[in-house]
Amino acid sequence: MPVSSIIHIRQLNKYIDTQEQKVFVLCDSNSYKHCFHILQEHLPGSLIPIKVKTGESQKNLVTCTYIWEQLIKNKAQKDAVLINLGGGVISDIGGFSASTYKRGISYYNIPTTLLAMVDAAIGGKTGFNFGHLKNIIGIIQNPEKVVLHPGFLESLPERHIINGFAEMIKHALIDGQQQTNKILSVTNVRDYLTQTNIFENIRVKQKIVHRDLHEKDLRKILNLGHTIGHAIEYAALKNKKKILHGEAVAWGLIVMLRMSVAKLQFNQSKAEKIIDFIKKHYSKPAWLQLYRKDILAALIHDKKNTRLNINMVLLKDIGDARYNVVCTNDEIGKIWRSI
């Protein structure tokens, strides 16, 4: 299945007919308040909202069950459409719920956060957390379209802008020196978020997903920084601490860069320049060292692992990511202490 094409929100009514189809809109309280009326302007007609609470804690089977119940209550048939209007949590649980309801109905992702625009809404990964483990249950099923409206970012708080920027840093490191240099020259993140720069960053992921939708090999490089990042998120969930996905990934990138120097001889001065840039934008949570054992223990559950090996994505150089690099807990622990 090819990667979903990206359209602007003003094109949406060419693909969805609200007169002929039942159209459901999954949103949280924030996206309903700030974005639903904008969607209604571009897609006139009857839209049935399905509202859930905000936050990562909603990414669970209970929420999926609620979505299915609402679809059944409103007699959604196979030709129904589910629009996921929100951030990554909404596209993850909405995509999973749509893909499993009656063995699959069409869904569209309309990301309203920077993180969702450049990452979560792209590529067809869906699912939810289970037992503190991040994205452990899910399937890959592409949306019909990914619908962009950069204007949604105007109402996004600064912390959530920085949250999504971590994935843009990751994409730049995967892509090559030119885009990395552009990223490292950024002083004001919000000013950098032009439609051109967002689309350029998205294309990095699109090209990779197009070649390897089901993450058999190449797509694994999109997990750069995520082995540690997901483990940090696990520790936060377990210990009732708050951290956003991009903040965890940013610190995962720092560990990854130090590990790349140790394992793949990545240039150390180049690594430290990138690390300094990341630290300017992402402060270290006070509890990070306190739960080091929980973070290291979570690594064994990473979805890239094989035969109980911890497989990380590291950089041989900027633009040269390597996947399935076996790293031990001792090696990672040593790097962790150094940060």
Domains and CATH numbers, the chain: 5-155 (3.40.50.1970), 158-338 (1.20.1090.10)
Catalytic residue among 170, 245, 258, 263: 245
Average pLDDT score over residue span 220-240: 93
pLDDT tens digits, residue range 121-180?
Answer: 999 999 998 887 778 899 999 999 999 999 999 989 999 999 999 999 999 999 999 999
Residue 133: the pLDDT is: 79
280 is catalytic: no
Task: Locate 315 and state its tokens.
Answer: 């950089």
211 is catalytic: no
Residues 246 and 115 sit within 8 Å (Cβ to Cβ): yes
- Helices (H), ranges, 114-225: 114-115, 158-175, 177-184, 189-192, 195-211
- Cα–Cα distance between 13 and 46 in angstroms, integer? 13
292 is catalytic: no
207 is catalytic: no
Catalytic residue among 170, 230, 258, 263: 230
Average pLDDT score over residue span 48-70: 95
CB atoms within 10 A of CB 68: 16
167 is catalytic: yes
135 is catalytic: no
Residues 246 and 113 sit within 8 Å (Cβ to Cβ): no
Catalytic residue among 59, 223, 247, 263: 223
Residue 307: the pLDDT is: 67
Task: Locate 339 and state its tokens.
Answer: 């940060």
Nearest to 85 by CA among 5, 19, 24: 24
51 is catalytic: no
Nearest to 92 by CA among 120, 63, 57: 120
Catalytic residue among 22, 84, 109, 125: 125
Average pLDDT score over residue span 41-58: 94
205 is catalytic: yes
